[in-house]
Chains A and B, each alone.
Chain A
Amino acid sequence: ETGVTQTPRHLVMGMTNKKSLKCEQHLGHNAMYWYKQSAKKPLELMFVYSLEERVENNSVPSRFSPECPNSSHLFLHLHTLQPEDSALYLCASSQDLSVTGMNTEAFFGQGTRLTVV
């Protein structure tokens, strides 16, 4: 199994739908992230969870709702999205600084390609 697994790989949803993206990491890390990658834009950090607590929310609209039930799993719940929310959503994990004392690299999943119609 790869280190960080995201499901589904592709998702098409209507603006009134509710769906969830799932991320699972098998690396023993204790920090997990959601990034959004839109065309012609830098990777945008959305949420950070460290030791299962949300430590950062980068002004993300409330139609995106993250959940981190344990250190291995991260969800992104979606509801009433807009077409401009169509993007590649990437999950990543790393070892939290407070544990290792150094910035470790983040490992990424393959992403979920989301299309909102």
Chain B
Amino acid sequence: AQKVTQAQTEISVVEKEDVTLDCVYETRDTTYYLFWYKQPPSGELVFLIRRNSFDEQNEISGRYSWNFQKSTSSFNFTITASQVVDSAVYFCALSEAQTLSGNTPLVFGKGTRLSVIA
């Protein structure tokens, strides 16, 4: 069965600090996809990144970077030089390979609430 664990429930940092949000996943499939979403106070989940299981290259997008390591089943997310606007709940999610229906909904972790203090 698939499972996503975000062990950090809440994190508080001071503005301009770097912060890493941890994500550990479980799956029996060799083909799967990993995602990160941001949920600001307004409620909607904002897509940040998708990574497939065959691509272990780390990715950087501005102040955001992601470290995918299959050996430890982890897909960690780092925000560099954090800003107050980064305050939100961040969700890691997993989608396994195609089912008979052709659809593989996301399974989410419990989320990490990040508070960036000015």
- How many residues of chain B are within 8 Å of chain A by beta carbon? 26
Closest chain A CB from B49 CB (angstroms) = 9
When the two chains form the complex, which single residue of A105, A109, A113 contacts B47, counting CB atoms closer than 8 Å? A105
Residues of the B chain whose Cβ atoms lie less than 8 Å from the Cβ of A97: 98, 102-104
- How many residues of chain A are within 8 Å of chain B by beta carbon? 30
Contact across chains for A109 and B50 when beta carbons are under 8 A apart: no
Contact across chains for A106 and B47 when beta carbons are under 8 A apart: yes
Residues of the B chain whose Cβ atoms lie less than 8 Å from the Cβ of A104: 50
- Count of A-B residue pairs with CB < 8 Å: 69
Chain A residue at minimal CB-CB distance from B48: A105
Interface string of A47-67 (1 = CB under 8 A from B): 010100001100000000000
Task: Find residues 19-74 in chain A having any chain B CB closer than 8 Å to their own CB.
Answer: 31, 33, 40-43, 45, 48, 50, 55-56
A76 at interface (Cβ–Cβ under 8 A)? no
Residues of the A chain whose Cβ atoms lie less than 8 Å from the Cβ of B98: 97-98
Closest chain A CB from B32 CB (angstroms) = 8
When the two chains form the complex, which single residue of B43, B47, B107 contacts A111, counting CB atoms closer than 8 Å? B43
Question: What are 28 A-B contacts defined by CB distance under 8 Å?
Answer: A31-B103, A41-B110, A42-B107, A42-B109, A42-B110, A42-B111, A43-B106, A43-B108, A45-B107, A48-B101, A48-B105, A50-B101, A50-B103, A55-B101, A55-B103, A92-B45, A97-B98, A97-B102, A97-B104, A98-B98, A98-B103, A103-B33, A103-B52, A105-B47, A106-B106, A107-B47, A108-B45, A109-B44
Residues of A within 8 A of B (CB): 2, 4, 31, 33, 40-43, 45, 48, 50, 55-56, 88, 90, 92, 96-98, 102-111, 113
Residues of B within 8 A of A (CB): 4, 33, 35, 37, 42-47, 50, 52, 91, 95, 98, 101-111
